[in-house]
A = this chain, B = another copy of it.
Amino acid sequence: MKFCGACGEAVQLQTVLGDSVLRHVCGSCKTIHYVNPKLIVGCLPVYEGSVLLCKRAIEPALGLWTLPSGFMEIGESVEQGALRETWEEAHAEVEIVRLFSEYSLPHIGQVYLLFLARLKNLNFSAGQETLETRLYSKEEVPWDQIAFSAVRFALEKYFSDPSTITTHLGTFSK
């Protein structure tokens, strides 16, 4: 960020009273521009123990498999965002069971919230950002072609620890 979104003048990184993090502050109108992590919301849709995955049609991770998920929008709840992404990416109708995993990526300011969800029917199909949709059993999951660490975390927890009903907590580490 170089310019103020409110008035168009230059911003500087500076200390703000009572705050431990440097902020972009406008030299003219004094607006403080806070930049915070973004939420990625989605579902782990299941049917008879298998999980619905989507092969990505867009970068990043084009051609790799993911759970239907995407950036949450203002004006929706976390659950509404998760259902919207599941419909947009996989045309899948699901019922949310519970919050399955919370996974942080501190270095890029992202947090994933993924819900365990029951597929209501098998009428799923690839959405605009998806090449292919498919149900995978534990034995079939393409572990070497999973798109994101947050997705891998959720899949590993689902297939290794099916009885746990508290939300799984994870953080990316290199």
Contacts and interface: CB of A to CB of B under 8 A. Distances in A.
Interface of A: 1-11, 18, 21, 33-39, 71-80, 98-99, 102, 104, 106-107, 109, 111, 113, 128-129, 165-167, 169, 171
Contact of A36 (B6, B10, B73, B129): B73
A60 to B, nearest CB: 15
Given A35-B74, A74-B106, A166 B98 contact: yes
Contacts of A7: 2-3
| Interface residues of chain A: helix, strand, loop or mixed (majority) | loop
Contacts of A171: 77, 79
B8 A169 contact: no
Given A39-B39, A75-B106, A102-B113, A33 B18 contact: no
Contact of A5 (B1, B39, B76, B165): B1
Q: Which of A7, A71, A106 has the most CB of B within 10 A?
A: A106
Contacts of A129: 18
